[in-house]
Amino acid sequence: MNDDVAVLGVGMHPWGKWGRPFVGYGVAAAKAALADAGVPWSDIDFVVGGETVRNGYAGYVAGSTMARALGWNGARVATCYAACASGSAAIEAARTRILAGLSDLALVVGADTTPKGFLAPNAGERWDDPDWLRFRLIGATNPTYFGLYARRRMDLYGAGPADFAMVKVKNARHGLHNPNARYRKEVAAEDVMASPVVADPLRLLDICATSDGSAAVVLASMDAARRLSSDPVRIRAVSTVTPRFPNTALDMPDIATDSAASVPAPAQGFRASIAAAAYEEAGLGPEDLSLAEVYDLSTALELDWCEDIGLCSPGEAEKLLHEGVTSLGGRVPVNPSGGLACFGEAVPAQAIAQVCEVTWQLRGAAGPRQVEGARVGLTINQGLFGHGSCVILAK
C-alpha cells in the first residue's frame, strides 16, 4: 500500500511588513504554487485554508476566502485552525482526503497580516479564555514562555547567551540569499547580545518578529502526480498529535501544567512525541535526515527542537551547534531557509512555509542555501493549546 502523497507545487509571497490585506498574499502564494505544479486552478478539487484570527471573518473562513479570490471553481473547501500548527493541520486534511481516494489535486494556503509588536488576544473581556487570562492576570506574553524555556537550558545544562546568539548568527547566514526571507543580512553574536532584553534571558534579536507572509502547496495523489511530474517530492508522514496526560511541561498559553499526582508523566515529553509519531509513520529516524526546518520562535527554542527531533541528547544541542553540525555544510543543517529568525512569524503560513523549503531542498532547487544531496527532510512546530505539527518529506 502506498501512503505517500506528492508535493507537486510550492510557492510563497515574500515575507515582510506591508500591512496589506492577507488575501493578496495568499493569492500570490497560491498562484505561485499552481504555476510551479503546472496545474490550472480549475483542476483543483479541494482547497484548504489555514485560518487567521486577526483579520476578521474572511480570516475565519480562509479556505473559502482564497477560493473566492481565485475565482469560485466549485472545489470542496475546509479551513483549519491549530494556531502555529494550522498549516500542517491543513496539509493533513488535504493528504487524508487524497489518501482516501476522494481528491486528486488539493491546494493548501496559509496567509497572514500581523500587527507590529507582541501578539495579543483580540479585544474584549473573556474571563473563561485561558489565552486572554494569561495576559490579564499575569502579563504573560509569548516571549514569557520562550524565556522560561531558555532559562531552563541555562540552569539545567549550563547554556548561555553566547550559545543562543550563535543560533541567530547561523540562521541569519542561512537566510542571506533566500528571496522570500524578510531579513537578509549577517548578524554578529555581539549584535544579539547588545540588543535589549525582552524576556530574560532572551533579547530582542533572540526572538522572532511577527510578519506578513504566505505559503501554499499543491498536493496530489501519486497517480495524478505521475501524469504531471517524473519524480515528485513525497510526503511520507504528517504528525498532528496532541499531548499525553499528564503534560508536565508548561505549554503556551497555559497558566498551569497537568498534575502528575496520580499518573506518572510519560517518558517522552510532548515536543519529542510530535517527532516520534512522524518517524514511526514514515519508518524513518533522525539518522535519516538530511535537514530539518524547526520552529525557532526563539534562538534557544531551536536548541530544544534539535533534541526533541533526536539529533542529540538533551543538553547537547549547544555542542552540535558549535561543531557546525546544524549549519549549512554540516551533517544535518537546521533551518537552511533562515528559519523564523529571517522570516518572522505569520501564524497560518508557518508550517506550510517549512514544507515549501524542504521541497525546494529535496528538489535541489534551493540555490546558495542548498543542502548537498538532500534526500529526507523534516519540519516541526507546535501550535498553542496542544497542537503537534511535523511533516517528513522524501525524494
The residues of the shown chain that bind other proteins, judged by CB under 8 A, are 117-118, 120-121, 123, 125, 127-128, 132-141, 143-144, 147-152, 155-156, 196-202, 245-246, 248, 250, 254-263
Instruction: Give me the residue label for grid cell 516541526.
Output: 380
Q: Which is nearer to other proteins, 138 or 365 (CB)?
A: 138
Q: Can you tell me whether residue 45 is helix, strand or coil?
A: coil
Of the pair 1, 261, the CB lying nearest other proteins is at 261
Residue placing its CB nearer to other proteins in the complex, 29 or 252? 252
Which C-beta is closer to other proteins: that of 131 or that of 296?
A: 131
Between 24 and 315, CB nearer to other proteins: 315
Q: Is the dihedral of CA 109, 114, 118, 119 positive or negative?
A: negative
Scored b (16 or more CB within 10 A) or e, 323-352 reads eebbbbebebbbbbbbbbbbbbbbbbbbbb
- The distance of closest approach from Cβ of residue 188 to other proteins in the complex, given in angstroms and rounded to an integer, is 22
Closest separation in Å from C-beta 182 to other proteins:
21
The position carrying cell 535589549 is: 196
Three-state SS at 380: strand
Cα angle for residues 220, 226, 231 (degrees, 5° grid): 95
Which of 162, 197 has the CB closer to other proteins?
197
Q: Which residues pair with 5 in a beta bridge?
A: 235
**Closest CB to other proteins among residues 2, 262:** 262
Q: How far is the CB of 256 from other proteins (least distance, A)?
A: 4
Taking the CA of residue 358 as centre, how many other CA atoms within 13 Å lie in the half-sphere pointing to its CB? 32
Q: How far apart are CA 276 and CA 280, in angstroms?
A: 6
CA distance 234 to 362: 10
Nearer to other proteins, 143 or 232 (CB): 143
Mapped to the 3 state alphabet, what secondary structure does 187-205 carry? Answer: CCHHHHHHCCEEECCEEHH
- Nearest CA among 202, 314, 318, 320 for reference residue 269: 314
**In the bound complex, what is the minimum distance in angstroms from residue 392's beta carbon to other proteins?**
28
Question: Cα angle vertex 63, ends 30, 52, to 5°?
Answer: 95
Task: Provide, rounded to whole angstroms, the least separation between the CB of residue 154 and other proteins.
Answer: 8
Distance, in Å, from the CA atom of 189 to the CA atom of 162, rounded to the nearest integer, reads: 7
The minimum distance between CB 7 and other proteins, in angstroms, equals: 35
Nearer to other proteins, 221 or 247 (CB): 247
From the CB of 98, what's the least distance to other proteins, in Å?
Answer: 31
Instruction: Please provide the DSSP assignment of 91-144 as one string.
Output: HHHHHHHHHTTS-SEEEEEEEE---SSS--PPSS--TT-HHHHIIIII---HHH
- Beta carbon nearer to other proteins, 244 or 375: 244
CB-neighbour burial class of residue 119 (10 A; exposed 0-12, middle 13-18, buried 19+) = middle
Instruction: Tell me the closest approach of the beta carbon of residue 231 to other proteins, in angstroms.
Output: 44
**Least distance in Å: CB of 54 to other proteins?**
13
Q: What's the closest the beta carbon of residue 130 comes to other proteins, in angstroms?
A: 9
